[in-house]
Chains A and B, each alone.
Chain A
Amino acid sequence: MTGQKFQYKKMKFEELILLAQNDDMKALEELIKQEQRNVFAAFSYLTQNKQDISDLTQEALLRIARNIKTLKNPKNFKGWANQIITHLYYDEIRKISRKPNTISIDSETEESNEFTIKNLLPDKRCKPQEKCISLEIEEIIKNEINNLPEPFKIVIVLRELQGMSYDEIANATKSSIGTVKSRISRARLKLQENLKNYI
């Protein structure tokens, strides 16, 4: 049993996909295990409520698992999974805009922006290539991305965090490549400006 699990762990992601597409539930389980961190992280930058992040992550993973057979080319997994993430996210925005009494994003932001300079200082000495980013910086970056106006938030997550091509992003967001290009550029300039005191 443990020997078998070890085998799945050692497999290439594409091999897991192919097995999962042929009803190998152990392969599907390992696939979900490997993908869940990525889905969770994506939603962490798209929404701020912890419960929403968890619900959306679970729903996206469920859709991935349930629809894995519809993925034609295993090489397209990332783009395909991100389409599921994007659709779920759009549904969530629609839900929130219908619910008038959700917790105000502004109040949460103010709270989380209360970081003291003392906490941030050690990181200023870090070199860019070293992955020595503090929890505070991560929170600040997450907040800044979360607070981007809508068309910019999803493109920055799909590009910077998920590494999708402009073509894939255009597909997922149902817009033109030119629009995607200018949105990413503007979102980056805005984020750079907002984060320049921290990074």
Chain B
Amino acid sequence: MENPNCQQVINLLELYINGKLSPILANAIEFHLNICPKCRKKYFELKTEINNVKDKPKIHSNRVERQIEHYIQNLSAYIDNELDDKDNIKIRKLSIVNTQARQKLEDILYFRQMLQNSFDKTKNNLKKDYSEEIIHRILNSGRKRINSEYVSLVISTLFLIFWSIEILYLYN
């Protein structure tokens, strides 16, 4: 296809815009677009259309993706009331407008509730009562401490007495 006609060019325009033609064919199309105003007009129309369809959702989905990522990172702190006002509002907003985000919020709240229930159940599994023993040990160790303080007082007093006797003896 050395010199494509207008119809052929128009048929190949989409592939040309998407960069999917072989270099030789792409060159031929480019040459034709330079000399044919009718096809050039079609080319710009199609290009704008393709860009609108393609780029818009891409930018949009990128933005949403980033929002969701930020959301996931902060959701945990959000339910703990540990975010600053700015992030707090962002998370709350996205929970309202985005169904995926709202689902994540519902999931994490449900999950937290389950852990709480599990913990409450574990609390009630305690069969032993430690309180009496603890008090007993505290009272006992208190007595022991008093005893040991008393013993060390007696020892140091005796030591002091012996020491004074020794000093007296030496000086006499």
Contact = CB atoms under 8 A, between A and B. Distances in A.
Interface of A: 25, 28-30, 32-33, 36-38, 40-41, 44-45, 54, 57-58, 61-62, 65-66, 128-129, 131, 133, 135, 137-138, 141-142, 145, 159-161, 165-166, 181-182, 184-185, 188-189, 191-192, 195, 199
Given A40-B126, A54-B128, A165 B82 contact: yes
Contacts, number: 116
B80 A133 contact: no
Interface stretch (B5-13, B23-31, B59-67, B113-121): B113-121
DSSP class of A's interface residues: helix, strand, loop or mixed? helix
B114 to A, nearest CB: 5
Interface in B119-172: 119-126, 128-135, 137-139, 141
A33 B120 contact: no
A32 B135 CA distance: 9
22 contacts: A25-B135, A25-B139, A29-B135, A36-B129, A38-B123, A40-B122, A40-B125, A45-B122, A65-B134, A133-B118, A133-B121, A135-B121, A137-B114, A138-B122, A141-B115, A160-B116, A161-B116, A166-B80, A181-B76, A184-B76, A188-B108, A191-B111
Chain B, interface size: which category?
Answer: 35 or more
B120 A131 contact: yes
Contacts of A192: 107-108, 111
A166 B77 contact: yes
B119 A181 contact: no
Contact of B114 (A37, A54, A65, A133): A133
B123 A40 contact: yes
Interface of B: 72-77, 80, 82, 107-126, 128-135, 137-139, 141
B115 to A, nearest CB: 5
A142 B118 contact: yes
Contacts of A188: 76, 108, 111
A161 B114 CA distance: 11
Contacts of A131: 117, 120-121
Given A181-B82, A184-B80, A65 B111 contact: no
Nearest to A62: B134
Contact of A29 (B80, B114, B131): B131
A181 B75 CA distance: 10
A195 B138 contact: no
A161 B80 contact: no
Contacts of B107: 192
Contacts of A191: 111, 115
B80 A159 contact: yes
A58 to B, nearest CB: 6
